[in-house]
Amino acid sequence: MNADLQNMNVTVLMGGDSAEREISLKSGTAVADALESAGARVTRLDTAAKGWHRDLPVETFVFNLLHGVGGEDGQIQGLLESLGVHYSGSGVLGSALCMDKAKTKLVWQSLGLPTPDFQIIDNRSDLAAVIDRLGSVFVKPVSEGSSVGMSTATDVSSLERAWVKAAESGVAVMAETLVDGDEFTVAILRGRPLPPIKITPASEFYDFDAKYVSGTTQFECPAPLNEEETAVLQALALEAFDASGAEIWGRVDLMRAASGWQLLEVNTVPGMTEHSLVPKAAAAAGLSFTELLMEIYLGSMEVRHGA
């Protein structure tokens, strides 16, 4: 597998200026280091630098490790397409849709896929009516990742505090019915679901600290499910991934409630740090980190560029 990377001209985009900049730098560094070790010629570009696109090498393939707004919402994808540059992962439409959690859920609801009920809230919302309709809620910006700005609320006063916190992101805020159950995630790679992962957070929920700081969050991969449960979960995750317009690779997050599986969101540029889940799932499927990167490259060229 490594021989395929020998002298390949690869550019890794990382950093940027979203709320997830620091995680993106870690993801990009991990990917760039692995590609260099495999023999690729790697250019590292931080898109926070003005005019960074002028430093793109000729005839390069871009590994996009930009998380959040600007890198995961179709903007960078549209720019690269306008420049005629081949890149990894989902295209403009899938990236834009998946970045908006509320619109993704509307698509799922229209198809009858299970996802918690929700409502967009702002400073004019009747918060008491929101609690009456949805019960305890999870409040989050519709277009931030890594659990930025997320918190729970059980009454009007806590919902108001949660809205203020989420609104600091500068994007729309949604309140989603809080699901009581275990959290799982399923990585998708080139049209197939990888072994599911069960996540047991060190804190109340799988927040930023639980993802990137705490060393006590537990990950079980493969998840402790029987064969039939695993198949049902993987099939639902793949259907949700495809319905959202996502392509090549990504991750679908779900909860297991008493009533069954509930879809939460799709990540089209998941983290690739030492704490990240896609590399864990790939390892459980027998793929090394370098082999995972090669699969992403091959899938990207095949789907978008007909290679």
Query: Given this model, what pLDDT does residue 145 score?
Result: 59
Q: Say whether 251 is catalytic.
A: yes
Q: Tokens 């059980």 sit at which residue?
A: 154
Spatial separation of the C-alpha atoms in residues 137 and 117, rounded to whole Å: 10
Q: What's the rounded mean pLDDT across residues 179-188?
A: 96
Query: Given this model, what pLDDT does residue 149 score?
Result: 82
The residue from 271, 276, 295, 299 that is catalytic is 271
Q: Say whether 267 is catalytic.
A: yes
Q: What's the rounded mean pLDDT across residues 59-75?
A: 95
In the chain, domain spans: 2-90+288-305, 97-113+179-284, 118-177
Whether pLDDT at 307 is above 70: no
Looking at domain 118-177, its CATH architecture is 2-Layer Sandwich (3.30)
The residue from 72, 144, 247, 265 that is catalytic is 265
Q: Say whether 212 is catalytic.
A: yes
Beta strand ranges found along the chain (DSSP E):
9-14, 41-46, 61-64, 86-87, 118-121, 137-141, 151-153, 173-177, 182-189, 192-193, 197-200, 218-220, 249-257, 260-267
What percent of the chain clears pLDDT 70, i.e. is strictly above it? Answer: 92
Pairing of strands 9-14, 61-64: parallel
For 245, other C-beta atoms within 10 Å of its C-beta total: 19
Q: Say whether 253 is catalytic.
A: yes
Residue 78 is classified by DSSP as H
Query: Given this model, what pLDDT does residue 147 score?
Result: 64
The residue from 15, 20, 72, 145 that is catalytic is 20
Q: State the pLDDT confidence band at 170, using cuts at 50, 70 and 90.
A: confident
SS3 for 76? helix
| CATH class label, 97-113+179-284 | alpha beta
Q: What's the rounded mean pLDDT across residues 187-195?
A: 98
Q: Say whether 265 is catalytic.
A: yes
Question: What pTM was estimated for this model as a whole?
Answer: 0.92
Per-residue pLDDT reduced to its tens digit, 265-287: 999 999 998 779 999 999 999 99
Sign of the torsion formed by the C-alpha atoms of 135, 141, 143 and 144? negative
Question: For the chain, what's the residue count?
Answer: 307
What percent of the chain clears pLDDT 90, i.e. is strictly above it? Answer: 84
Whether pLDDT at 1 is above 60: no
Average pLDDT in the chain:
92
Domain 2-90+288-305 sits in CATH at 3.40.50.20
Spatial separation of the C-alpha atoms in residues 138 and 136, rounded to whole Å: 7
Q: State the pLDDT confidence band at 208, using cuts at 50, 70 and 90.
A: very low
Query: Given this model, what pLDDT does residue 284 score?
Result: 97
Q: What's the rounded mean pLDDT across residues 76-85?
A: 96
Query: Given this model, what pLDDT does residue 216 score?
Result: 72
Q: Say whether 271 is catalytic.
A: yes
Spatial separation of the C-alpha atoms in residues 66 and 80, rounded to whole Å: 13
Q: State the pLDDT confidence band at 96, using cuts at 50, 70 and 90.
A: very high
- Write the CB contacts of 232 (distance below 8 Å, at least 6 apart in sequence): 261
> Which residue type occupies 97?
L
Write out the two tokens for 263: 């879809």
Q: What's the rounded mean pLDDT across residues 129-135?
A: 98
Q: State the pLDDT confidence band at 305, using cuts at 50, 70 and 90.
A: low
Write out the two tokens for 236: 């639902």
Query: Given this model, what pLDDT does residue 173 score?
Result: 96
Beta strand ranges found along 65-181 (DSSP E):
86-87, 118-121, 137-141, 151-153, 173-177
The residue from 18, 94, 100, 251 that is catalytic is 251
The residue from 144, 212, 297, 304 that is catalytic is 212
For the CA atoms of the chain, what is the radius of gyration? 19
The residue from 95, 253, 276, 300 that is catalytic is 253
Number of alpha carbons in the 13 Å side-chain half-sphere of residue 203: 15
The residue from 267, 276, 300, 304 that is catalytic is 267
